[in-house]
A and B are shown apart, each in its own frame.
Chain A
Amino acid sequence: MFNKGILLLLALIYSCAAHDTSMLPEAYVDAAQRSTHTNNWAVLVDASRFWFNYRHVANVLSIYRSVKRLGIPDSQIILMIADDMACNARNPRPGQVYNNANQHINVYGDDVEVDYRGYEVTVENFVRLLTGRTQNGTARSKKLLSDAGSNVLIYLTGHGGDGFLKFQDSEEITSQELADGIQQMWEKKRYNELFFMVDTCQAASLYEKFTSPNVLAVASSLVGEDSLSHHVDASIGVYMIDRYTYYALEFLEKVQPFSKRTIGEFLQVCPKRVCISTVGVRKDLYRRDPHKVPITDFFGAIRPTHVSTDRINVTLANEEDFVNAVANVRPKKQFKIVMEPQFTAAFLK
């Protein structure tokens, strides 16, 4: 009974779409621009440790807060934080992390679920997570259980260089490893579309090697440029947040779950005037026009649903029809399976 209801609903949605496509070429293009994803995942990584890198933790926690507010549940957010700033002995506000000098929002609030923390944040774990090759016994919360219908947001922050991102002050992930990881994700049908966002120095070098389809990438700085921090909180004594993330958040804060804002607008949040570094964008692998893609396709968890104010009949079909449908099922075609001999006796003779 319940199944039947869902089916009807889907059929209804389908008919709406079909109705649109039959109209005009523009409408058809429009429909092609519409995402086909069914669920959203986010992988948010802070790869650097140490107290003076407070801002990276603030970056990643702020993005976490935004995607959570826009509807991605904790079970579908993988949050990796390489160091514990909230409980660092140098933190004058124990248990709290702020992303702003006015200390309005404690981004390390009551409901932060850190999935990989401290020394668990390694290149190995990150690549295992992306490619789904986690070790036996890995908790469900530490797995990226995405499928061919998932839109995945990957956000990285830390200290980078030309072609690498430093993890934990001891190892690096190279842009090639990252590209290979994403290619494997594509081959294993682990994503529908992927939005890759990175805030490090020379960030654009990280997406250079990507070849997988349906990837949209944005980086805080081009190769050869440094990404800079935004401001200092003189009562905590550290840089609070990085420029690119700061302006990205400023944009995201105004986005509501049903917002009409597009990812195209989001790509322009930080002009060189305010960012100081040049934001790099890579669109050639992405088949849709970013200006027609709602930002909630990546930063929220809104499924493509049709909201109707009309009366809809969701009653069950007649029982006779149902029985007839079962009775009228055509008999399956008979076929015979012939097993070829594995070792042809002819050769032995």
Chain B
Amino acid sequence: MGLLSDPSLSTHNKLVDNLAKHVRKVCYAFYTAGVVWFLCLALPEFNHGTYLSENALSPGLVYPEIRIDANRLAVQLLEELQRERKDHQSTTPHAWILAKFNEFGLETHTHNYSLRYPFGGGKEFHGKNIYGILRAPRIGSTEGIVFSAPYRAPSSVHVEISPSVPLLLAFADFARRKNYWAKDLIFLVTEQEQLGMQAWLEAYHDGDKTPDSSNSYLLSGNLPARAGSLQAALNIEVQDLEIDYVDVKIEGLNGKLPNLDMFNLVQRIMAREGVTSGYKQTPRKKRRSSLSNFEQNLRQMLAMLATQSSGVPNGNHGLFHRYRIDALTISAAKRVTNSNVKSNPTSSAVPLLKAIEGIARSLNNLLERFHQSFFFYVIVHNDRYISIGDYMPALVALVACSFIKAYLTWSTLDASAIVLSQETIALKPDTKSLKLSLPYGSVLIYLAVVLLIGYLANVLPLQHYILELPLNAAPLTATILIALSLIGFVLPFVVILPDGGLELLHISLLLIYGCTLIVIGLLNFSLGFFVGVLTVPMVVALNTSTRNSTLRSLARVWTLLLNPLVVIYIIVLVMSFHQFPELTMQQLLLRAATAAMDAAAFALVDSVIYGNWLYFAICTIFLPIWIICWTLALARRRGNEIHQPKLKTN
């Protein structure tokens, strides 16, 4: 009995031959099944209601003890802060925040960090975070919970969220009077959006290591005091003390999510305090809609996947996830004046304060990190979710297409060769040696070159000699990416593989594509699924031996459209069209071009500073795969005229 992996063994039998005749139909059936399965997940029969798995949380068992005086304090602090903000148009009033932390008796420290911006000849930025630690009164400082509030200067382009800091301070003042904390509470005010948070987290976890200053762009320094291993974090972004609703943001870096228990906990406690809260919550007017349940669910799912797929966190909470700290942001929106609702400024923030207290007490009850519930899920509705076991089949069905096609192509390779040889020469060929005689070497070299192009796109923009060019980040990155894509575009015209090389390349493409897609799908389902939905039909449609020239040119156009850079450009174009519908076509195209260049540069910066792997995935995985696809779509052969008509697979 031969080995299963013996290439000289003929794998084709009747079943395989029959299947091979209908390989496209089979693949498209799988593709449709995957997409339909995904759509079905929006139906209530396919998703589940949320529930709390972690007993220790015991949410809502305590009466909130925070009273109206905390609200009064918050209002007073907000007034003081507003006065301070007049003198600090583009900076943070560090002195005031420090003084308040000290006044409330917290162990207060500042954290300095600096960023060496790699582009445009190199610049250095400095930042400062302030944090206060409330030590657990009756237990060692081995565990901590973080409550953070980002501070935005008045000059910031983002929405103003200055009431977050007074709210945090008011809660800190309440918390320090209590004796039941079993974990240290860290109250943290960060500046410069995610950069400050990233620096603080790096300093907290790796501050003791001697930094390799030559290589790193973010010099996070060290922290003077810590509070043990961080168990959970709550980021607070409040637009006003009078709130309309709370939007719970969960998507983190590289599409990581906090444990579902934490989301459920926040939902449960918000509901008890009567705060309107939800995932991707929108104002009341928008909420009233005549959409069917299915459609609403589907929109919610797609919105979540869209946010997740970029891998960029949508709040400061997202950076905690890389240190295995469950975190989310509660983002409270300002109440738009409504004659029906009488607002009472003296007690307006009390429900939110109570909710924060409730969350804090539940987190305080944790005995170990969140581990009971799901880390991989899609939220369908505020109280419904899809677990990884339910959504993975959709992606697996998509990926299955490429593996099935790879297997069937491999199995029928010799069959096609027999047909070929019988027609040309009347001799029985040695079928067993056919697979051995394929040009493995040249295909391997070709693959290596293609991967090298992708790798260059990843490392070139950060080389010293390129960084010294007097160019901004956006044009620099874009130029390099376009140049490398062009090389990939030209490559199949220049390099023509020997006989059988294309078939072999096709099989290796299918295998590489399938493997990368499933790996990406496991790490970040949204990205994997979207890429799969977009590209699987194209990969299935590719056929190196089609004779029909219209089909071939169609495939070429299709492949060109799915070039990663083109896809990014189209996405940006659609987004800018939605955002600026008043622009003319020409203006729109131009604006989208600059925005796409910016996007490329931001992705690069994200990967360098935060560790977002989207840029890496696009350069090192999607670009090479595209080049291979392009090669196959062109299907240029040596001696094209003689062999091609006779090489027919099905």
Cβ-neighbour of A91 out of B58, B61, B180 (below 8 A): B180
Contact B179 A238 (CB under 8 A): no
Cβ-neighbour of A237 out of B61, B136, B137, B138 (below 8 A): B61
Shortest distance between the CB of A336 and any CB in chain B (Å): 74
Q: In this complex, what residue of B is CB-closest to A51? A: B365
Contact A89 B365 (CB under 8 A): no
- Chain A hits for B61, CB < 8 A: 232, 234, 237-239
Q: In this complex, what residue of B is CB-closest to A235? A: B63
B148 sits at the interface (CB 8 A):
no
A94 sits at the interface (CB 8 A):
yes
Contact A94 B179 (CB under 8 A): yes
Contact B182 A237 (CB under 8 A): no
A306 sits at the interface (CB 8 A):
no
Contact A90 B58 (CB under 8 A): no
Contact A237 B62 (CB under 8 A): yes
- Chain B hits for A234, CB < 8 A: 61-63
Shortest distance between the CB of B362 and any CB in chain A (Å): 9
Question: When A232-B61, A237-B361, A238-B58 are in contact, do A89 and B367 touch as well, CB less than 8 Å?
Answer: no
B55 sits at the interface (CB 8 A):
yes
- Chain A hits for B136, CB < 8 A: 89
Contact B56 A52 (CB under 8 A): yes
Shortest distance between the CB of A241 and any CB in chain B (Å): 14
Total interface residues in chain A, CB < 8 Å? 17
Contact B55 A52 (CB under 8 A): yes
A109 sits at the interface (CB 8 A):
no
Q: Chain A 224-239, CB within 8 Å of chain B: the 1/0 string? A: 0000000010111111
A212 sits at the interface (CB 8 A):
no
Contact A89 B63 (CB under 8 A): no
B525 sits at the interface (CB 8 A):
no
Q: In the complex, A202→B136 CA distance in Å?
A: 38
B178 sits at the interface (CB 8 A):
yes
Question: When A50-B56, A237-B61, A238-B61 are in contact, do A94 and B138 touch as well, CB less than 8 Å?
Answer: yes
Contact B62 A89 (CB under 8 A): no
Q: Chain B 357-371, CB within 8 Å of chain A: the 1/0 string? A: 000010011010000
Shortest distance between the CB of B176 and any CB in chain A (Å): 14
- Chain B hits for A92, CB < 8 A: 178-180
Q: In the complex, A247→B361 CA distance in Å?
A: 30
Contact A90 B365 (CB under 8 A): yes
Contact B181 A50 (CB under 8 A): no
Contacting A at CB under 8 A, from B163-213, are 178-182
Q: In the complex, A205→B72 CA distance in Å?
A: 56
Cβ-neighbour of B139 out of A89, A236, A238 (below 8 A): A89
Q: In the complex, A305→B631 CA distance in Å?
A: 104
Cβ-neighbour of B56 out of A51, A89, A91, A236 (below 8 A): A51
Q: In this complex, what residue of B is CB-closest to A234? A: B63
Q: In this complex, what residue of B is CB-closest to A92? A: B180
Q: In this complex, what residue of B is CB-closest to A54? A: B58
Contact A89 B182 (CB under 8 A): yes
Shortest distance between the CB of B465 and any CB in chain A (Å): 57
- Chain B hits for A94, CB < 8 A: 138, 179
Q: In the complex, A92→B62 CA distance in Å?
A: 11
A88 sits at the interface (CB 8 A):
yes
Contacting B at CB under 8 A, from A82-125, are 87-92, 94
Contacting B at CB under 8 A, from A67-93, are 87-92
Q: In this complex, what residue of A is CB-closest to B361? A: A237
Most chain B Cβ neighbours within 10 Å, of A51, A88, A235, A239: A51
Q: In the complex, A239→B367 CA distance in Å?
A: 17
Q: Chain B 53-75, CB within 8 Å of chain A: the 1/0 string? A: 00110100111000000000000
- Chain B hits for A239, CB < 8 A: 61
Shortest distance between the CB of A94 and any CB in chain B (Å): 7
Contact A237 B178 (CB under 8 A): no
Q: In the complex, A32→B182 CA distance in Å?
A: 57
Contact B58 A237 (CB under 8 A): yes
Contacting B at CB under 8 A, from A104-157, are none
Q: In this complex, what residue of B is CB-closest to A53? A: B55
Contact A89 B181 (CB under 8 A): yes
Q: In the complex, A234→B56 CA distance in Å?
A: 15
- Chain A hits for B137, CB < 8 A: 89
Q: In this complex, what residue of B is CB-closest to A88? A: B182
Q: In this complex, what residue of A is CB-closest to B57? A: A52
Question: When A52-B55, A52-B56 are in contact, do A90 and B364 touch as well, CB less than 8 Å?
Answer: yes
Contact B56 A235 (CB under 8 A): no
Q: In this complex, what residue of A is CB-closest to B182? A: A89
Contact A52 B58 (CB under 8 A): yes
Q: In this complex, what residue of A is CB-closest to B183? A: A89
Q: In the complex, A68→B365 CA distance in Å?
A: 32
Q: In the complex, A163→B139 CA distance in Å?
A: 37
Q: In the complex, A239→B61 CA distance in Å?
A: 8
Most chain B Cβ neighbours within 10 Å, of A236, A237, A238: A237
Q: In this complex, what residue of B is CB-closest to A87? A: B138
Contact A52 B139 (CB under 8 A): no
- Chain A hits for B180, CB < 8 A: 89-92
A residues with CB within 8 A of B: 50-52, 87-92, 94, 232, 234-239
24 contacts between A and B (CB under 8 A): A50-B56, A50-B367, A51-B56, A52-B55, A52-B56, A52-B58, A52-B365, A89-B136, A89-B180, A90-B180, A90-B181, A90-B182, A91-B180, A94-B138, A232-B61, A234-B61, A234-B63, A235-B62, A235-B63, A236-B62, A237-B61, A237-B361, A238-B58, A239-B61
Cβ-closest 6 pairs across A and B: A237-B62, A89-B139, A89-B182, A234-B63, A89-B138, A92-B180
Known pairs A50-B56, A52-B58, A94-B138; list 11 more (Cβ under 8 Å): A50-B367, A52-B56, A89-B137, A89-B138, A89-B139, A89-B180, A91-B180, A92-B179, A237-B58, A237-B61, A239-B61
B residues with CB within 8 A of A: 55-56, 58, 61-63, 136-139, 178-182, 361, 364-365, 367
